[in-house]
Chains A and B, each alone.
Chain A
Amino acid sequence: MLKALGYFVELLRGIWITTRHFVVNMWFHTLNLFGIKTKRKGAVTIQYPEQKKDLAARHRSLHRLMKREDGKPRCVACMLCVTVCPSECIVIEATEDPDPEIQKYPSTFVIDLNRCCFCGFCVEACPEDAIRMDTAKIDLAQTSHDALIFGLDKLLK
């Protein structure tokens, strides 16, 4: 009995919240309509994905690997991003670089986005600024797990 009562209480609370938002927003929109400037603006729904909001400058989106001038990856395969990654989703295999001046380069660099939590630690750990999360790609959903495993080819694009 008491439980059923709680249900109706919550229902009424929900109606109250919705109504409050509607009235408050209507109030600001109406003031705006009559040319009265207020500090607060009425809320507007963005029609995502047809319409997109600008991302903040510090946002984190899909990773990319930076390139050197000659097109090779800037990454030196130090594996510090692998070390810091809390989701254990980066796998790197390093190979001897034929250039005597360069020690090693990543022959495999895989980020498994199925596991990635977009914390951005890898970007902060990188001593070479070789990995960034500034591609502004946030609509990453796929229909298969494999499509979310990003290798060198996709990351260097």
Chain B
Amino acid sequence: MAKIFLDGKPVEVAEGTTVFKAAQQAGIAIPHFCYHPAFVPEGSCRLCLVEIEGSPKLELSCSTVVREGMKVSTQSPTVREARRGVLEFILAEHPLDCPICDKAGECKLQDYYQDYGLTESVFREFKEKREKKVRIGDKLILDRERCVLCTRCVRFLAEITKTHELGLFERGIHAEIGGYENEPVRNGYSGNLVDLCPVGAITDTDFRFKTRPWFLTKGESICPLCSRGCNIYIDYHPGFPRVPGSAKVYRIRPRTNDAVNGPWICDHGRYGFIDLQQKNRCQTLVWNKGERTAEWSWDKVLITIGERVKALRENGKTNRISLILTTWLTNEELFLIKKIFKDGLGVRNVFFADPAPGPEDGFLLRSERTPNRRGAREMGFDLKAPDLNALVPDTDILFIFGPHFAGISHDGAWKPALEKIPVKILVTSHLNELASTADFVLPAAFLAEKNGTLTNADGRVQKIAAIARACFDIRPESQILLDLAREIRLDDSYFGALSAPEAVHHELVKEIPFFGALP
């Protein structure tokens, strides 16, 4: 341990820490562009200057290692003057784009100008013109005027993805970021460049111009596109009062968690999530009666389904109920299914239909493409794929959760097979051919629209929250399940108590302590 003095305050830090990190630990923010905790410090932006007693010049805090007894001042007039000078040079070459720049509102340069600069421009010449729309990747656009040459993007591609697509070319005023022979940035993590860039120089076509950051509310959640369970922020727009459908998720960003994903997420999750939240959503409650398709109220449909189940129960034939589940379901929903169907009704035919596993990339993306397979396994479910031969003859009522059953290739055999089952109930957030075969289609919430927990492949139980509000009448699966339990009069006192928020999770932890380890 070394003892140093930061602005006169004694601080104990580990040997070998940089002054920047020591200050960060002590809660002192030092402005910076090029430093990023995931990379080796480069020391190119010169904004992190601090004054160290006994040293003739200002030093870079990001790359200076602490010495015993070092006296550092991070806010002295000399330091502030130096930072102002650095900012003035950057701004001499920076366009006045803030009103149309996607970064405005969360831009480091704006923040630091506010904190240190507030200088009148003394630059009377014309600013250098540079290209403003350079395609550097499938979704990435580079604006060379806005770039402050911090080389974070270059170092990300060199140190993290090791794909080296971008580099710093030319020197002095001509220096610019570019690709080698205009090769595009093409790796599974390119979206991170947008978050990484401290200014609005790199933007992605998915978010570019769509809205302004200050309209968005951010919520903490978990990426549902693979079993890694990366921590994310969901940036959600609450919408305009008179524009239907204007409330939606605009952007997914990584939320730093060193135990899971560090500061990154993959493109599959980042761009896949928004499609999932918005496309092919199941919006209406449907009851298919032969030729007639009718829209119904939730109460009526739940009573009808309850009556069918009750009829089986009175004849002692509840083992003729079968389930096809998905691991899009949260731990709590799987637990309710277990309590109602397995323990309560003695259902034995339980299958899981999940999207086909995809390729793993050795970094974050895993081959299991749903978020909660581990949770289902820990719950005691056997994750076997649907077996039509075992399913069809033994089933009077089939509950299908999630849309993935149709994607599983039985060479289309599922369709005639399903038609032989008298009652098929589909609870889904997304629509596909399954909906036309099912008797009841109940629109359910997608993962951004409900509360619960998910278990990632390493057994971490992580929270998701209802951040977005769907523009149509959906219900979370947990509510549907509890309503159903009430309709069929299954252990009223037990399930009645579970309708309070968090109650299901408490009950789950009481029964299976594995799920108690909420980080």
- A residues contacting B by CB (< 8 A) are 76-80, 82-83, 88-89, 91, 94-96, 100-101, 103-104, 112, 114-115, 127
The 0/1 profile, CB within 8 Å of A marked 1, for residues 192-218 of chain B is 000000000000000011111011000
Q: A91-B246, A94-B210 are in contact. Are A78 and B241 (CB under 8 A)?
A: no
Do the beta carbons of B240 and A77 come within 8 Å of each other? no
Which of A76, A78, A103, A104 counts the most chain B CB atoms within 10 A?
A103
Report how many residues on chain B are interfacial, defined by Cβ distance under 8 Å.
Answer: 18
**Does B100 reach chain A (CB closer than 8 Å)?**
yes
**Does B242 reach chain A (CB closer than 8 Å)?**
yes
Q: Which chain B positions have C-beta within 8 A of A95?
A: 209
Q: Which chain A positions have C-beta within 8 A of B100?
A: 76-78, 103-104
**CA distance in complex: A88, B247 (Å):** 14
Q: Which chain A positions have C-beta within 8 A of B133?
A: 100
**CA distance in complex: A103, B246 (Å):** 23
**CA distance in complex: A83, B216 (Å):** 12
Do the beta carbons of B243 and A91 come within 8 Å of each other? yes
Q: Which chain A positions have C-beta within 8 A of B214?
A: 83
Closest to B143 in A: A103
Do the beta carbons of B209 and A103 come within 8 Å of each other? yes
Do the beta carbons of B209 and A104 come within 8 Å of each other? yes
A31 CB, min distance to chain B CBs, angstroms: 55
Q: Which chain A positions have C-beta within 8 A of B242?
A: 89, 112, 114-115
The 0/1 profile, CB within 8 Å of A marked 1, for residues 123-145 of chain B is 00000000111000000000000
B99 CB, min distance to chain A CBs, angstroms: 4
Within the complex, which residue of B97, B131, B209 is in contact with A96, where a contact is CB–CB below 8 Å? B209
Do the beta carbons of A77 and B243 come within 8 Å of each other? no
A108 CB, min distance to chain B CBs, angstroms: 10
Closest to B101 in A: A103
Secondary structure dominating the interface of A = loop
**CA distance in complex: A94, B240 (Å):** 16
Secondary structure dominating the interface of B = loop
Which of B100, B132, B212 counts the most chain A CB atoms within 10 A?
B100
Q: Which chain A positions have C-beta within 8 A of B209?
A: 77, 94-96, 103-104
Q: A96-B209, A104-B209 are in contact. Are A88 and B240 (CB under 8 A)?
A: yes
Q: List 23 A-B contacts (CB under 8 A).
A: A78-B99, A78-B100, A79-B215, A80-B99, A82-B212, A82-B215, A83-B215, A88-B241, A89-B242, A91-B243, A94-B209, A94-B210, A95-B209, A96-B208, A96-B209, A100-B131, A101-B132, A103-B97, A103-B132, A104-B209, A114-B242, A115-B241, A115-B242
Which of B131, B132, B208, B212 counts the most chain A CB atoms within 10 A?
B212
Q: Which chain B positions have C-beta within 8 A of A104?
A: 100, 209
Q: Which chain B positions have C-beta within 8 A of A96?
A: 208-209
**CA distance in complex: A89, B214 (Å):** 17
Closest to B210 in A: A94
Closest to B212 in A: A79
A107 CB, min distance to chain B CBs, angstroms: 10
**CA distance in complex: A83, B243 (Å):** 16
Contacts A78-B99, A103-B97, A112-B242 known; 6 new A-B pairs at CB < 8 A: A78-B100, A83-B215, A89-B242, A94-B210, A100-B131, A114-B242
**CA distance in complex: A103, B243 (Å):** 25
**CA distance in complex: A103, B210 (Å):** 12
A78 CB, min distance to chain B CBs, angstroms: 4
A79 CB, min distance to chain B CBs, angstroms: 5
**CA distance in complex: A112, B246 (Å):** 15
Do the beta carbons of B240 and A91 come within 8 Å of each other? yes
Closest to B242 in A: A112
Q: Which chain B positions have C-beta within 8 A of A89?
A: 242
Closest to B105 in A: A83
Q: Which chain B positions have C-beta within 8 A of A78?
A: 99-100, 212
Q: Which chain B positions have C-beta within 8 A of A112?
A: 242
B130 CB, min distance to chain A CBs, angstroms: 11
Q: Which chain A positions have C-beta within 8 A of B131?
A: 100
Q: Which chain B positions have C-beta within 8 A of A79?
A: 211-212, 215
